[in-house]
Structure 1
Amino acid sequence: MDNQLGYVSVETLFHDLAEQLSLQWVAGRAGGHRSLSFGALHKPALALIGHLNFVHPNRVQVLDCDEMNYLHGLSGPSLQEAIDHLFSNELAAIVVSNGEPVPAVLRQTAERTGTPLFSSTLASTILMSYLGHYLNQSLAEMTSQHGVFLEVLGMGVLIKGDAGVGKSELALELVTRGHRLVADDVVELKHVAPDTLEGNCPALIRDFLEVRGLGILNIRFLFGETAVKLQKNLRLIVELVHPQEIGEVGLNRLDMVASTETILGVAIPKVRIPVAAGRNLAVLVEVAVRNHILKSRGINPVEQFIKRQQAAIDEGN
C-alpha cells in the first residue's frame, strides 16, 4: 500500500499534551492550524541565542532558563531585535519552560505573527523528552499491510498470505494457545526508529477477528483482556503459501540464505510456510519464532548442522 507521512497540527499537539505537560496557551491562538510534518526534516538547527534546544525539524522551539535569562537581560531595541530574530525563523510554536515569566514583547510578537506560544512549569529536558517522543510517533512515516498481526512468544509477527489460505483460523488457534491479537486484516505500520516498525490496529476493527464460518469475533470478550494487545514492534513475517507456489527449487531445506521483506526501508526477516492438510501451522509458527529468537542471539542451527556434517566428512577422510 502507499506510504504516508504522519500529520499533526499545533492545536492537536496542545490538546494531546496540555494536561500531561502542564501547558498553558499564552498567545498566538490564530496559528493553531500550523502543521508539523517531515517537510523540513533535514533543515539544520537554527542558532539564535546561546543554545536554543531544537526539538524537531519543524520548529517547535523550547526556551529554557538560559535563553530566558538572556532575554530578561535585554531591553529596548536589543530585546526587540532578539525577539524578531527568533520569530523570523517561521517557528511552528514556542514553549517557555521551567515556569519562566514570559516577557510582554514575546507575548505581543507571538500574537502579532500568529505563532502559538506556550508556557510550562516543567523543566526543558522533560519537555523535550515528551515532545520528541510524541512527534516521532505522530509524524512517523507509515503504511498499511494486509494480514493478521499477533504477539507470539513476546514477538510481533505478521501473518500474510492469499485470501482463503487460513490466516484468521491460524490466528484464532494461536490466541487459544495463549498468544495475543493486535490486528486482523489490516495492520498500520509506523517507522518509529531507524530499524523499528511499530504495528497498530485501526480503531474501527480493534479486538475483532473475522473467521470464515464463524463471522466476526470479539477476541477481547471471548478470551479476556490478556488475549489482545494495542501495539507491537514487527520482528518477523510469516507468509502462508500453497506448496505449488514454492516448488522444489524454492524449498531451501537448509535455509542457508535468510529471506527478508523490506517495508518502509526496514528489512524484516521472513519465513515462508507451505500450507497442506495435516500440518499444524500454529506449532510451526511458534517454532519459527523460537528459531528466530535463537538466531538473533547468534545461535544458528543450520550452521551447527553444516559444521557437524563437515566434521563427520573430515573424520571419514
Structure 2
Amino acid sequence: MADSVTVAELVENVRLDVYTGEAYLKDRRITTSDISRPGLELTGYFDYYPAKRVQLLGITETSFAKRMTSAELTDVMTKMSRPETPAFVVSTSLEPPKELVKAAEAAKIPILGTKVTSSRVLSNMTSYLEGQLAERQSIHGVLVDIYGLGVLITGDSGIGKSETALELIKRGHRLIADDRVEVYQQDEQTLVGEAPRILNHLLEIRGIGIIDVMNLFGAGAVRGQTDIDLIVHLENWSPDTPFDRLGNGTESSQFFDVRVPKVSIPVKTGRNLAIIIEVAAMNFRARSMGYDATKVFDDNLNSLIKENSKKDD
C-alpha cells in the first residue's frame, strides 16, 4: 500500500492540465482518495474543512464565488489554501477566480484544470487514488487474462503454474503477473490484481530462466492489471483426494472483503492444464450468463428416471 501519491502522478494518470504551480507538483502529496467539493467553505464555514483532500471546484462553486466581493473571496481562498492541501482542481474548462490563484501561489499549491465535468473528473480521481492508496496483499501465483476474465492460478511451488501460463499466452491470452501477484480491493465486489513493478511482463520458466513476455510475444500478450474473477488451484493428483466431478461445488477464497469463486484441478501426467484452465474460464463465463451444464445434466437424468419409471409401470 502506498502512503501517498504525488500531485504530479495524479496529473499524469487522470490527464489533468496544470493551470499554475507546475514547480510544486512533485512536492505536494495526496494521502486520501476522498475528494472535497468546498461549498460550505465558500460561505465561511470552516469548522470541519477537510484540508488534506484535493479540492474540486465546478460550475456551482465558481458561480457562487462570482457573487462574493473580492475581499470576501480572498479571505475564503486564503483559509482554503492550507499547508496540507495538495491541489485545487477546476472542472469544465472554467477559469479559476483570481483570488484563488493568488492564494494558491502564496501557499505553493498547484491549480489543475480539466475540460470534463465535475462528476466525471471526481470519479476518475477517486478511482485512481483508491487504486494507488488501497491496502495490498501479495499472493503466490500467476494471473492471466483469459477471454477477458482474470484467472488467478495458484498451487505449490514447482507444480507448473508458469509453464501453464506460457501455454495460455501462446494460445492468445494475456499475462498480468507471474510468481507474485499484488491484489487490492477496488470496491465491495471487485478484487484487482497486478504485477509488482520489478516483475512487470516477466515470466520464469525452470530450465530456461526469466523471459520477457512482451519482448517475445508482443504488446498484445501482456496487460497491466485485471479484476480477479476466478481462482484455479492446481493440486497434485492423489486417489485419496476427492475432486469435483459434476461441477456443482461452491469453493471460494476470500481476500479482504471479497469472495472469489475457486476451482481445484488435479495435476497428473498427460493432462493439458492450459486447455483445462481455458475451458474452466469459459464454463465460468457461461454460468455467469445463466447456463449451467450441471443443471442440464441433472434435468436430463431426472427425465430419464421418469421415462424408465413409466416403462416399468
Determine whether 1:33 maps to 2:25.
no
Determine whether 1:21 maps to 2:16.
yes
Which AA in structure 1 matches 2:65?
L
CA contact (8 A) 2:74 2:103 kept: no
Q: How far is the alpha carbon of 1:168 from its aligned partner? A: 1.4
TM alignment of 1:118-267, pairs within 5 A: 118-120=111-113, 122-125=115-118, 126-244=120-238, 247-248=240-241, 250-267=242-259
1:286 aligns with 278
What stretches of structure 2 of length at least 5 have no aligned partner? Answer: 44-49
Q: How far is the alpha carbon of 1:272 from its aligned partner? A: 0.5
What stretches of structure 1 of length at least 5 have no aligned partner? Answer: 51-55
1:297 to 265, 278, 289: 289
> Distance in 2 between the 1:286 and 1:76 partners?
65
> Distance in 1 between the 2:140 and 2:247 partners?
26
User: What secondary structure does 2:68 align onto?
Assistant: coil
Q: TM-score, normalised by structure 1?
A: 0.80
1:53 aligns with none
Q: 1:170 to 1:119 in 2, by over 3 A?
A: closer
Q: 1:103 to 1:17 in 2, by over 3 A?
A: farther
Which AA in structure 1 matches 2:227?
N
Identity of aligned residues (%): 34
> Distance in 2 between the 1:87 and 1:200 partners?
36
Q: What whole-Å deviation, never above 9, does each CA across 1:279-308 have from its counterpart, x for those lacking one?
A: 121221111111111111111111221222
Q: TM-score, normalised by structure 2?
A: 0.81
CA contact (8 A) 1:93 1:115 kept: no
Q: What whole-Å deviation, never above 9, does each CA across 1:227-253 have from its counterpart, x for those lacking one?
A: 222222211111111123x834x3232
Q: What whole-Å deviation, never above 9, does each CA across 1:253-276 have from its counterpart, x for those lacking one?
A: 223331111123211111101111
CA contact (8 A) 2:144 2:175 kept: yes
> Distance in 2 between the 1:78 and 1:57 partners?
19
Determine whether 1:10 maps to 2:4.
no
CA contact (8 A) 1:91 1:115 kept: no
> Distance in 1 between the 2:96 and 2:104 partners?
15
Q: 1:90 to 1:73 in 2, by over 3 A?
A: farther
TM alignment of 1:32-71, pairs within 5 A: 32-37=27-32, 47-49=40-42, 59-71=53-65
Q: 1:226 to 1:34 in 2, by over 3 A?
A: closer
CA contact (8 A) 2:51 2:82 kept: no
User: What secondary structure does 1:199 align onto?
Assistant: strand
Q: 1:298 to 1:57 in 2, by over 3 A?
A: farther
Q: 1:267 to 1:101 in 2, by over 3 A?
A: closer
> Distance in 1 between the 2:218 and 2:35 partners?
45
Q: 1:45 to 1:24 in 2, by over 3 A?
A: closer
Q: How far is the alpha carbon of 1:80 from its aligned partner? A: 4.7
1:73 aligns with 67
> Distance in 1 between the 2:124 and 2:71 partners?
35
Alignment RMSD, CA only? Answer: 3.4
Which AA in structure 1 matches 2:281?
V
Which AA in structure 1 matches 2:279?
V
CA contact (8 A) 1:182 1:231 kept: yes
